[in-house]
Structure 1
Amino acid sequence: MAKGRNNLLGVGGQRKKLSRAEQQGAGSARVADRKVAEDKKQELVRKMRERAEAQTSATASADPAEQGGSAQS
């Protein structure tokens, strides 16, 4: 049997070393950067949804006009 069989040191990954500011409860700049990135992403998603809705409403309003014109012919 191996000698180090019961030695589980290092199992489960490594912990990040905290700065003094983080130890005292202040958030790191990394957290602020993630928040800014998330805000930008949400804004982009909102704009994309608005454009998609505008396109679908434009095609939906154009379709009944075509159907109405072809039904009368």
Structure 2
Amino acid sequence: MSKSRGRTGMLGVGGQRRKISRRALRGGDAAAQGAGTDPVAQKKELLRKMRERAERRDSATDEQ
């Protein structure tokens, strides 16, 4: 039994999808998408926080 994808099928119920450019799909044109912050900046911040925690953990272990 095959799925119906014609006019009577349920695919696409709820309105049409917004057309997204290839550039936007690849992460470019972030301002048009309404994205918050840059993913590269988020990764750098996460790595910085992880290094700080590791340094605190190492210094606490050295003191004992």
One fold, TM greater than 0.5? yes
Which structure carries more helix by proportion? 1
Flag the structure with larger Rg.
1
SS class of match (2:27): helix
Q: Distance in 2 between matches of 1:59 and 1:14?
A: 57
Q: What TM-score results when the alignment is normalised by the length of structure 2?
A: 0.55
Note the C-alpha offset of 1:47.
Answer: 0.2
CA RMSD of aligned residues (A): 2.9
Structure 1 gap ranges (5+):
1-6, 64-73
Go from structure 1 to structure 2 and tell me whether the alpha carbon gap of 1:13 and 1:55 turns closer, same or farther (over 3 Å shift). farther
> Which gives a bigger RCO, structure 1 or 2 (Cα 8 Å, sep 6+)?
2
**Matched length:** 49
